[in-house]
Structure 1
Amino acid sequence: MSHTRKDRPLRLASYNIRKARGLDRRRDPGRVLDVINTLDADVITLQEADRRMGDRPTALPRELIARATDFDVVPLATNDVSLGWHGNAVLVRRGIAVSSASQIDLPGAEPRGAVSVTLGNGLTIVGVHLGLLRHSRRRQLRSIVAELGQTQRVAIIGDMNEWAVTRGFEALQEGFTLYSPGRSFHAARPIAALDRLALSHGVTLTDAGVDQRPLARIASDHLPIWADIA
């Protein structure tokens, strides 16, 4: 690394890992963790971190995360086999304090949920994987904003599943600024900015981007995004 963490903004990242199944059809959690390690992030929200059926076992073994990374898993799961809630998980770099973590039930035509993690510095990070239908996504964002209430400093980040530039994000217009770090889908040929973040007033974006390195272009069908905030 060219800098230390204490002299830089907080780096957030988001990655839809597609249950650790790459474009070569191999399920390789170690490869996904290699991509995560290269992001140099402090907090990472993951989508599709758990399998879809049954008890939704994690696609990233906890012991492998502990052994191969410098991250802790924020406790969001409701059982011993999942990593998160509706596939949404959050990793926080060791040494960064977490003051609270919770789940947010979301409406829509398909089962969805979001996760909320508040750091020791007061920043609340909401990890999302919104629905496939626009009317569902609109309802889901309204629910998230309502759940946040008067929370002062918020970053909403994840796979928002929206191909349009501004449509579908009406619920964020008053209290948030929406950002697109770049095209993140499909990993083999990025044509859509499905992965985005929204920052509340008082939270400043200083830099952002999409990881397009060779390993990221095969480890999942989404590329990870990152954002430095102050």
Structure 2
Amino acid sequence: MRVATYNAHRGRGPAGPFRPERILAVVAEIRPDVIALQEAQHYLRRGRPMLDAAMAAELGLMPLAPLERPEHQGWRGNLLLVRRDAAVLAGPTGLRLGGMEPRGALLAVLDLGQGPVRVIGTHLSLGEGRRRRQAAALLAAMESGPGRDLPTLLLGDLNEWRPGRGALAVLAPVFGEPPRAPTFPAFRPLASLDRILGHPRGLVEHVAVHDTPLARRASDHLPLTARVETALLRRAG
């Protein structure tokens, strides 16, 4: 199973006009089973869908509207696109994580034919102290929310580039330390801001940056992809 995370920069490249169709063109290059998008909001009208749902459907993907706001395409800029044949077993539930720019996460339990898996897409704040609190809130949601005992994927822009610090230090006891994979800035990636984490250990394999000419133009971040060890999902199911 192929998963990905991608900060869409509200449909704008590193510089230039609002062109969200390029985001879906990059998603088409990746061909994910599940992708978490951040900053996936219309640049001028936050309540209006940023991505063309019909275009996503042509890619075999569907957006998961949050239960709290079914009329919205995402939650606080976070959006989950999943294969159209995926079974949604729970959620998606919007989580409020606070911050000066309100941050959040989407949590859903899915089955893509290999067994159930909990998926969390998120975007954390810029301040280290706030990121630590937000990471702790994500772990608390895992303990109390749906899919408590299931394998879990945490996908998103964690804004944390230093190994063993901030949010990564809080998440490490559950998810371990992720490999370095620079995704930002897109034109010359140096910082590993975007992460794909898995619990239990060994769930996430072959993490790689999706670096193509189109991806460098579509957003200020590059997407991050990974392969999921589906044997662990079948065992949990």
* TM-score of the superposed pair, with normalisation by structure 2: 0.86
Residue 221 of structure 2: SS of its match in structure 1? coil
Structure 1: gaps spanning 5 or more residues: 1-9
Residue 217 of structure 1: SS of its match in structure 2? helix
Distance in 1 between residues matched to 2:25 and 2:45, nearest whole Å: 28
**49-58 or 33-42, larger mean C-alpha shift:** 49-58
Structure 2: gaps spanning 5 or more residues: 230-237
| Equivalence for 1:138 | 132
Residue 116 of structure 2: SS of its match in structure 1? coil
Question: CA 1:202–1:180 in structure 2 vs 1: closer, same or farther (change >3 Å)?
Answer: closer
Distance in 2 between residues matched to 1:203 and 1:74, nearest whole Å: 27
TM alignment of 1:55-204, pairs within 5 A: 55-66=46-57, 68-76=58-66, 78=69, 80=71, 82-101=72-91, 102-120=93-111, 121-149=115-143, 150-168=148-166, 169-180=168-179, 182-201=181-200, 203-204=202-203
Q: What is the CA-CA distance between 1:40 and the residue it aligns to?
A: 1.9
**56-65 or 193-202, larger mean C-alpha shift:** 56-65
Q: For the Cα contact (< 8 Å) 1:210–1:224, is it kept in 2?
A: yes
Residue identity matched to 1:78: R
Residue identity matched to 2:171: L
Which of the pair is proportionally richer in helix? 2
* Post-superposition CA distance 1:74-100 (Å, at most 9, x none): 1226153x3200000000012122211
Distance in 2 between residues matched to 1:20 and 1:181, nearest whole Å: 26
Q: What is the CA-CA distance between 1:202 and the residue it aligns to?
A: 5.1
Percent of pairs with identical residues = 34
* Post-superposition CA distance 1:142-183 (Å, at most 9, x none): 001011104331111110011212201222122212324611
Question: CA 1:116–1:26 in structure 2 vs 1: closer, same or farther (change >3 Å)?
Answer: same
* Post-superposition CA distance 1:49-105 (Å, at most 9, x none): 113666432221323323x4210111226153x320000000001212221121111
Question: CA 1:199–1:17 in structure 2 vs 1: closer, same or farther (change >3 Å)?
Answer: same
1:31 aligns with one of 22, 33, 37: 22
**89-98 or 101-110, larger mean C-alpha shift:** 101-110
Residue 4 of structure 2: SS of its match in structure 1? strand
| Equivalence for 1:7 | none
Distance in 2 between residues matched to 1:109 and 1:135, nearest whole Å: 12
Q: What is the CA-CA distance between 1:24 and the residue it aligns to?
A: 4.2
| Equivalence for 2:233 | none
Distance in 1 between residues matched to 2:85 and 2:52, nearest whole Å: 21
Distance in 2 between residues matched to 1:181 and 1:36, nearest whole Å: 22
- Pairs aligned (count): 219
